[in-house]
Amino acid sequence: MKSLTHLERLEAESIHIMREVAAEAEKPVMLYSVGKDSAAMLHVARKAFYPSPPPFPLLHVDTTWKFQSMYALRERAAREAGMELLVYQNPEAKARGINPFDHGSLHTDMWKTEGLKQALEKYGFDAAFGGARRDEEKSRAKERIFSFRSANHRWDPKNQRPELWRLYNTRKNQGESIRVFPMSNWTELDIWQYIHVEGIEIVPLYFSAPRPTVERDGLLLMVDDERFRFRDGEQVEERWIRFRTLGCYPLTGAVESRADTLPAIIQEMLLTTTSERQGRAIDHDQSASMEKKKQEGYF
């Protein structure tokens, strides 16, 4: 017998995790951010439950500041998977006009961290799948696949349950909820390779094209819509760029690249020398910032 490849094993493990949640959780949901990790996770979910559609909805915690082409793919991906798509926008952030230009980290706190808490409470979801991977960042390396959040959504890294074999303890206390990371053991390269092998549709922004850009504070930003606010002296310049991760467009740095096919992207990734989180403004403050954010309830 031929051995399973590493991708086959990773996929089988992720499927197993998703089925455990479907069988044991009361009201699961899959967080869907429209990025490549979400795309791979959604694809695995379709495989896990085929010929049934995945027995839970997709939830997009929206900030209203994502790239336009992300919104375009969002609806189509949900439809093709036969799943309900829920979109949640924090009403308070909306009313106060919170945006990445004026409000700095408050933007992420209110739209994403608060928005996620509100959405989970509104619908009463007790288990939420997320596409986070352990290789993304050091504090993730120690997070469990089933990660418990207290009633106020805090993560306690000192009080995690041991996770043995393929036996996941899904029992929770009143008010607790679970974040489940079925893709924990995948690396960035695995995700790209899987997207390539399986032919999964991803947002075109991952592929290089000439796009309108502005260079600011060492990040290469894309002018995605008319809400972009220019600083004095800033000029739009067309550059060949692509994105390694996608988030709110005014906070997401692009890389200059000519890679316009998946193999070319993977080639660049393998020969690159910086990690993918580098393009995210959120991590720059301090090396333990992600751990702090998570304790406060960031996904």
Partner 1 sequence: MSAPTEPVYRTEALIAEDIDAYLEQHQHKTMLRFITCGSVDDGKSTLIGRLLYDSKMIFEDQLASLEADSKRVGTQGEAIDFALLVDGLAAEREQGITIDVAYRFFATEARKFIVADTPGHEQYTRNMVTGASTAELAVILIDARKGILTQTRRHSYLAKLVGIRHVLLAINKMDLVDYQQSVFDKIVADYRAFAQQIGIKDFVAVPVSGLMGDNIIALSEATPWYQGPTLLHHLETVELDEQASAAKPLRMPVQWVNRPNLDFRGFSGQIVSGTVRPGDAVKVQPGAQGSTIARVVTLDGDLEAAHAGQSVTLTLSDEIDCSRGQVIAAAEHPVEVADQFEAALVWMAEEPMLPGRAYLMKIGTNLLTATITSQKYQININSLAHEPGKTLELNGIGVCNIATDRAIPFEAYEQTPDLGGFILIDRFTHHTIGAGMIHFALRRSHNLPWQHIEVDRAAHAAMKQQQPRLLWLTGLPAAGKSTIANLVEKKLHALGRHTFLLDGRNVRHGLSQDLGFTKADRVENIRRVGAVARLMTDAGLIVICAFISPFRSEREQVRQLMPEGEFIEVFIDTPLAVAETRDPEGLYQRARAGELKNLTGFDSPYEPPEHPELHIDTTALSAEEAADQIVARCLN
Using CA atoms of 250, 295, 136, 258 in order, give the dihedral in degrees to the nearest 10: 0
Q: In whole angstroms, give the CA distance from residue 240 to residue 128.
A: 36
> Contact, 135 vs 35, CB < 8 A?
no
Q: Does 37 bind partner 1 (CB under 8 A)?
A: no
Residues 248 to 277 in contact with partner 1, rule: CB under 8 A: 263-264, 266-267, 270-275
- Tokens describing residue 128: 């939420």
Would you tell me the crossing angle of helices 6-24 and 188-198 to the nearest 10 degrees?
90
Stretch that binds partner 1, among 71-79, 124-132, 167-175, 235-243 (CB under 8 A): 167-175
**Tally of CB atoms within 10 A around 102:** 10
> Contact, 112 vs 119, CB < 8 A?
no
Q: In whole angstroms, give the CA distance from residue 103 to residue 115.
A: 16
- What is the separation, in whole angstroms, between the first and last Cα of the chain? 40
**DSSP state for residue 35 in the 8-state scheme:** S
Q: Does 139 bind partner 1 (CB under 8 A)?
A: yes
Stretch that binds partner 1, among 105-113, 123-131, 193-201, 238-246 (CB under 8 A): 193-201
Closer of 198 and 234 to partner 1 (Cβ) = 198
Contacting residue, 197, 227, 230, 238, with partner 1 by CB under 8 A: 197
Contacting residue, 19, 27, 94, 103, with partner 1 by CB under 8 A: 19
Q: How far is the CB of 105 from partner 1 (least distance, A)?
A: 18
Residues 100 to 129 in contact with partner 1, rule: CB under 8 A: none
**Tally of CB atoms within 10 A around 28:** 22
Q: Does 173 bind partner 1 (CB under 8 A)?
A: yes
Contacting residue, 87, 187, 209, 228, with partner 1 by CB under 8 A: 187
Stretch that binds partner 1, among 16-24, 203-211, 232-240, 242-250 (CB under 8 A): 16-24
Q: Which helix or strand (DSSP H or E) is residue 29 part of?
A: strand 28-31
SS3 call for 9: helix
For 79, residues 6+ apart whose C-beta sits below 8 A from its C-beta are none
Q: How far is the CB of 278 from partner 1 (least distance, A)?
A: 5
Stretch that binds partner 1, among 6-14, 26-34, 112-120, 225-233 (CB under 8 A): 6-14
Residues 38 to 57 in contact with partner 1, rule: CB under 8 A: 46-53
Which residues make up the interface to partner 1 (CB under 8 A)? Answer: 1, 3-13, 15-16, 19-20, 22-24, 46-53, 134-135, 138-139, 141-142, 157-158, 160-167, 169, 171-173, 184-185, 187, 189-190, 193, 196-197, 263-264, 266-267, 270-275, 278, 287-288, 291-292
